Structure 1
Amino acid sequence: MTETKTVLITGTSSGIGLATAVAAARAGWRVLATMRDTAKAGPLLAAAAAAGVRDAIEVRALEVTDPASVQACLAGLDRLDALVNNAGAGHLGTLEQESVAAVRAVLEVNFFGVLNVTRAALPLLRAAGGRLIAVTSVGGVVGQPFNEAYCAAKFAVEGYFESLAPVAASVGVSVSVVEPGAVGSEFVANVGFTEDLVEQAGPYAPALVNYLARTRDAFANAQTPEQAAAPIVELLAAERPAFRIQTSDAARAFTAAKLSDADGARVQALTAGWIA
């Protein structure tokens, strides 16, 4: 019999994180499902029970921006085979209309939060020969209007992980980034697509109205969280996980406008050669 492997997933109270936790448990993983407020675990636990995998999921509190919370979450773990950095927060705004402090707060959650968890988990992943995954976004490849801060954070994660990947591989840890496009989840609602945004946009209001109309159309044809989670769970079991994957044909087409090296293999071969 093979030993059950353990994956820690951040941001599992809803959306892609919740769906990934349930799907990973169904695939035979022991899942450490983390979230800032464990009082919000009800939907996850209900979905796990409905799927018959409640016993495979352990909920833990984790605030990714707080190193003490990260250490407390990982305390007592003697093995970790995979980490899925999924926790994040959307943000709409443009520089003239918001403070640099607001931009910094977006990076704190979406970039530095990923680094906090990854840094703490790497010794365990290294010992297990495990894998490290970050859920980024097509916004980590293509900059998008009124998403300057969010895209900056996702670009930063992609750049950091692309640079880390050959280094981590040298000690037995595979690194991948997952790029969803539009996904229908609470994440979108939490961004705050409200009329107040337009009222506060000043001279940028006409452009913002057009952007919001386009975005509503895109999310009308969004993937479900379960569809976006499926490639993540496939990565957990892949014999040779790609560095970069998109979760839908639409996401692949969108990123292809910028990426000719669609799965990251060419860049990885190049930079791995630099340290071999």
Structure 2
Amino acid sequence: MTARHRTVLITGTSSGIGLATAVTAAKAGFTVVATMRDPERAHALREAAGHAGVTLDVRRLDVTDAASVASCLRGVRETYGRLDAVVNNAGVSNFDPTMEMSTMEALRANLEVNFFGVVAVSRVAMPLLRAARGRLLTVGSVHGVVGQPFNEAYAAAKFAVEGFMESLAPVAARHGVRVCVVVPGFVPDTEFGVFPDVNRETIRAASGPYARTFTDYLDWVGGQGWEGAGQSKWDVAEAVVRALTDDEPPFRIATSAWVSDYLADKLADRDGSAVQALARTWVAGPQRSGAAP
């Protein structure tokens, strides 16, 4: 797919990877419909577009609101007469031990944005993508392939996205639509990449038997946990735009060598034991005797 005269709709563009992808795609020649739940938060996006010398069509789209999704896609069809690609990027982070601290309502809210929102946009966009023989891209996560302790809700949603898109891909291909999942790792220059300022005493008080384990996990993350994993949101955006323009992009696209190596262990782990053994080291902490408090 060449960028010239092509229209791409990107969700979640007020910041982070979505913002960088919107600007990068526009620089590559795409007509970019940059969507977000609240267009009043578009200041950073417009500023970045201005610095890059590109123009964006900023529109409201709340992926959890069926009427908003339908209205936005209808408006795109009326304005441009076609839609060549969608980048499902909108999402919310979650760092909450589901078994003790979180609630079922919070879990459902996470899935509503990170999974059902992706499905909602994809379903409404698919007729336009079929007509254009276009692309359906979704920004996934390494946590959608390798589960991460204390990120259960987020990982569950991203696993669901992987399964949904992997199942859809061969069917969509029969009808001319290429489906891809772009998998970034740790992206420090986004809101997702900012590790929360967690009060450890509050965590210990709320998480019952998992308190010491959670503390050990925080120590691992703050130490060597993600060494070598970081990359810029602009690097991820470049990978997304390559997936939009490559003639034959693969289904799963790692955005760095670190991501590729990280995923390789899981994808070669037929029964899951190797990844589980690895994950246990993330929460092991120093050797201790006696029961954890």
Q: TM-score when scaled to structure 2?
A: 0.83
Match of 1:51 in 2: 52
1:203 aligns with 2:209: yes
Asked whether the equivalents of residues 4 and 29 of structure 2 are also in contact (C-alpha less than 8 Å), the reply is no
Alpha-carbon distance between aligned partners in 2 of 1:183 and 1:212, rounded to the nearest angstrom:
18
Higher Cα Rg, which structure = 2
- The equivalent position to 1:105 in structure 2, one of 93, 105, 109, is 109
The one-letter code of the counterpart of 1:58 is: D
Match of 1:114 in 2: 118
Alpha-carbon distance between aligned partners in 2 of 1:243 and 1:198, rounded to the nearest angstrom:
41
The 1:42–1:2 alpha-carbon spacing in structure 2 relative to 1, beyond 3 Å, is closer
Pairwise mapping of residues 67-216 of structure 1 onto structure 2 (< 5 A)? Answer: 67-76=66-75, 77=77, 78-94=81-97, 95-184=99-188, 185-189=190-194, 192-195=196-199, 196-216=202-222
Match of 1:22 in 2: 23
Asked whether the equivalents of residues 193 and 212 of structure 1 are also in contact (C-alpha less than 8 Å), the reply is no
Asked whether the equivalents of residues 8 and 33 of structure 2 are also in contact (C-alpha less than 8 Å), the reply is yes
Asked whether the equivalents of residues 136 and 179 of structure 1 are also in contact (C-alpha less than 8 Å), the reply is yes
Alpha-carbon distance between aligned partners in 2 of 1:205 and 1:115, rounded to the nearest angstrom:
35
The 1:198–1:239 alpha-carbon spacing in structure 2 relative to 1, beyond 3 Å, is farther
Q: CA deviation at 1:32?
A: 0.5
Alpha-carbon distance between aligned partners in 2 of 1:10 and 1:96, rounded to the nearest angstrom:
32
Match of 1:258, SS state, is helix
Deviating more after overlay: 87-96 vs 191-200: 191-200
Alpha-carbon distance between aligned partners in 2 of 1:71 and 1:193, rounded to the nearest angstrom:
38
Give every structure 1 segment of 4 or more consecutive aligned residues whose post-TM-superposition deviation is greater than 3 Å. 196-199, 216-221
CA offsets 1:119-139 (integer angstroms, 9 cap, x no match): 010000000000000101000
Asked whether the equivalents of residues 141 and 258 of structure 1 are also in contact (C-alpha less than 8 Å), the reply is yes
The 1:169–1:2 alpha-carbon spacing in structure 2 relative to 1, beyond 3 Å, is closer
The 1:46–1:219 alpha-carbon spacing in structure 2 relative to 1, beyond 3 Å, is farther
Alpha-carbon distance between aligned partners in 2 of 1:236 and 1:151, rounded to the nearest angstrom:
25
The one-letter code of the counterpart of 1:228 is: V
Match of 1:11 in 2: 12
Structure 1: unaligned runs, 5 residues or longer: 262-276
The root-mean-square deviation of aligned C-alpha atoms, in Å, is: 1.9
The one-letter code of the counterpart of 1:41 is: A
Asked whether the equivalents of residues 183 and 219 of structure 1 are also in contact (C-alpha less than 8 Å), the reply is no
Q: CA deviation at 1:250?
A: 1.3
Match of 1:250 in 2: 258
Match of 2:284 in 1: none
Deviating more after overlay: 60-69 vs 217-226: 217-226
Match of 2:267 in 1: 259
Alpha-carbon distance between aligned partners in 2 of 1:72 and 1:136, rounded to the nearest angstrom:
25
CA offsets 1:66-86 (integer angstroms, 9 cap, x no match): 111101111231210000000
The 1:203–1:181 alpha-carbon spacing in structure 2 relative to 1, beyond 3 Å, is same
Structure 2: unaligned runs, 5 residues or longer: 270-293
The one-letter code of the counterpart of 2:213 is: A
Asked whether the equivalents of residues 90 and 188 of structure 1 are also in contact (C-alpha less than 8 Å), the reply is no
Alpha-carbon distance between aligned partners in 2 of 1:51 and 1:2, rounded to the nearest angstrom:
17
1:223 aligns with 2:223: no
The one-letter code of the counterpart of 1:214 is: W
Alpha-carbon distance between aligned partners in 2 of 1:251 and 1:193, rounded to the nearest angstrom:
25
Alpha-carbon distance between aligned partners in 1 of 2:221 and 2:10, rounded to the nearest angstrom:
28
Alpha-carbon distance between aligned partners in 1 of 2:198 and 2:216, rounded to the nearest angstrom:
14
Match of 2:33 in 1: 32
Asked whether the equivalents of residues 13 and 22 of structure 2 are also in contact (C-alpha less than 8 Å), the reply is yes
The one-letter code of the counterpart of 1:48 is: A
Q: CA deviation at 1:37?
A: 0.9
Deviating more after overlay: 204-213 vs 174-183: 204-213
Q: CA deviation at 1:201?
A: 2.3
Q: CA deviation at 1:158?
A: 0.3
Q: CA deviation at 1:104?
A: 1.3
Aligned length: 258
Match of 2:60 in 1: 61
Asked whether the equivalents of residues 94 and 151 of structure 2 are also in contact (C-alpha less than 8 Å), the reply is yes
